[in-house]
Amino acid sequence: DAGVIQSPRHEVTEMGQEVTLRCKPISGHDYLFWYRQTMMRGLELLIYFNNNVPIDDSGMPEDRFSAKMPNASFSTLKIQPSEPRDSAVYFCASSFGQGQHTQYFGPGTRLTVL
Amino acid sequence: EDQVTQSPEALRLQEGESSSLNCSYTVSGLRGLFWYRQDPGKGPEFLFTLYSAGEEKEKERLKATLTKKESFLHITAPKPEDSATYLCAVQAWAGGTSYGKLTFGQGTILTVHP
């Protein structure tokens, strides 16, 4: 049974470039979460979706960040333009609501902005 | 605001030396407390969910317990493969059918020497 899939696993880009991170949640899960992990701030929730609808984006740091979920099996997190302080590991997680609410995490995308 | 504090930040044990990790929390109505394990370069892996004070859960050498203010992750006779970062997170009750987000602690880095 496939878990949460993220791509790319590593991304190196230059300041000012657009970055798009991708996520495929576990089939049947109706919640999807985007997190960012850094040494300084730990694991922070950026945004989450329920049934493809954004519910809470209060963790999105700036307007440079945007997220979409066009269907139940795909989501993107876009940073435009990217800055060096965006360097972090970005995780996607999914869960099945109305139940245990356990979130299952993907392997993450390590983003480096030069 | 929900807060989670984990201690110690790092713990070094000899193989077979039992110990405990602490997770102290403040939350406006606990819906669930979650323990995750994270290996280097990987996403957090779900271990346990605890819902009410007095609840305990076990998995192999790990046992998680919960009180109204803190949770402990007890590690009995650890092995080198138990080395990882252990993350604690809380979820608060949100209004109506809203989904309370997870608030994570900074984690405890556990190293078990053979």
**Residue pLDDT, tens place only, A78-106:** 999 999 999 999 999 999 875 557 899 99
For residue B56, the model assigns a pLDDT of 97
**Residue pLDDT, tens place only, A27-82:** 999 999 999 999 999 999 999 999 999 988 989 988 999 999 999 999 999 999 99
For residue B92, the model assigns a pLDDT of 84
Which residues on A lie below 8 Å from B102 (Cβ)? 45, 103
Q: Residues of chain A with pLDDT > 70: what percent?
A: 96
Give A1's pLDDT tier (boundaries 50, 70, 90): low
For residue A49, the model assigns a pLDDT of 93
Stretches in chain B below the pLDDT threshold 50: none
Which residues on B lie below 8 Å from A108 (Cβ)? 41-43
Task: Please judge whether A107 and B42 are an interchain contact, meaning their C-beta atoms are less than 8 angstroms apart.
Answer: yes
Q: Which DSSP string corresponds to A34-63?
A: EEEEETTTEEEEEEEEETTEEEE-TT--ST
